[in-house]
Structures are given as structure tokens and as C-alpha cells.
Amino acid sequence: MEISLIIRTSPENEHRLAMAHRFIKTATEQGHTIRQCFFQSEGVLTATQPKQLTEWRRVAEDTQAELLLCSQAAEEHAISAQDPFRIGGLGALVEAAVRSDRVVSFV
């Protein structure tokens, strides 16, 4: 099964982010594929936090998932993408949702 995630969780909500990481780990251990992680709203702020950046780099390496920062949210928070993140629009999210079997959101 291919899964895409929407991450809207702020970096301060470490419990919710830990849930997202556990979900990804469990899903991949069960043989599922993570297609994309789309960071929207305050979720784009996780890309700027050193601790979270390390975790998301590990996700990108382990799963080959595309990590996209919502272009509007990145602009709103004045964030530029660092590797492995890229900037993407809602069209990329919609495309991933259409191509995925499931979309899971962490708010």
C-alpha cells in the first residue's frame, strides 16, 4: 500500500510528531511505501528545527519519500527549503493523494 502524509503539526507538539514518525516506521516495517510527506500550515516550521530536521532526513533516506513544504505556508513563515525538503504546491499534494492508497493527516 502506498501512503501519503499531511503534516500540519507545529514543532512544539513533539508528541504528535513522534506519532507521525512511529506511524512511518510501523508502516514501512509492514511493507507499505511512504510516497510523500506534505508539510502544511505550521508543519513547515518542523523543517527549521534541528532535531526534527535530523528525523525527517532519516525518513527521506529510509523511505525515499518526497518531503514537500507547502509553498504558501513556506512563504508565510519565510522558510526556504533545505535538503531533503522541497517547495511544492497543493497540486503536488493532490497528485500524491490520487496516486496513493491512503492519505493520513497529523494535525
pLDDT at 48: 80
Q: What is the pLDDT of residue 49?
A: 87
Model pLDDT, residue 98: 96
pLDDT computed for residue 36 by the predictor: 97
Backbone angles phi, psi at 20, to 5 degrees: -65, -45
Q: Distance between CA atoms of 10 and 99, rounded to whole angstroms?
A: 27
Q: What is the mean pLDDT of residues 2-15?
A: 95
Q: What is the pLDDT of residues 44-65, one digit of tens each?
A: 998 888 888 899 999 999 999 9
Amino acid 105: pLDDT: 96
Provide, rounded to the nearest whole percent, the portion of the chain with pLDDT above 70: 100
Q: Are 1 and 102 in contact (CB under 8 A)?
A: yes
* DSSP code per residue over 56-71: HHHHHHHH--EEEEEH
Q: Which residue has the cell 508528541?
A: 15
CATH number (3.40.50.300, 2.60.260.20, 3.40.1260.10, 3.90.550.10) of 2-106 reads 3.40.1260.10
pLDDT at 50: 86
Write the burial class of residue 1 (CB in 10 Å: 0-12 exposed, 13-18 middle, 19+ buried).
Answer: exposed
Residue ranges per structural domain of the chain: 2-106
pLDDT in tens, 69-78: 999 999 999 9
Contact indicator for 4, 102 with CB cutoff of 8 Å = yes
